[in-house]
Amino acid sequence: MVHIADSNVIKTTESPDYDIIRLISDIGGQLGLWIGVSVITLVEVLQLAALIVRVLTARRRRRLRPSAKTCTARSHTHTHTHTHTLT
């Protein structure tokens, strides 16, 4: 006859700490974060490009536009008549 001294049974179960659903959720969260940051960065780069184009266009217009002195000088026509007499 076999006599068991202790009749308590210890049952051990294992479960993953990090399951596939949590992994997919974390990847989705990171992708959302990085895509959001990428969109914000893209918008900022486009704003910078627009600002650069505006500044360069304004400078080019200033160079091409005649100054106020030149404009008034061109708007008035002066006729000079010189008479020379030979003796």
CA distance 55 to 62: 11
pTM exceeds 0.85, yes or no: no
Tokens of 82: 């010189």
CA distance 69 to 87: 41
Domain residue ranges of the chain, discontinuous segments joined by +:
25-64
pLDDT tens per residue, the chain (87 residues)? Answer: 666 666 788 889 998 888 999 999 999 999 999 999 898 999 999 999 999 999 999 998 888 876 655 555 455 555 555 566 665
CA distance 66 to 70: 6
Torsion (CA) 24, 30, 35, 38 in degrees, nearest 10: -160
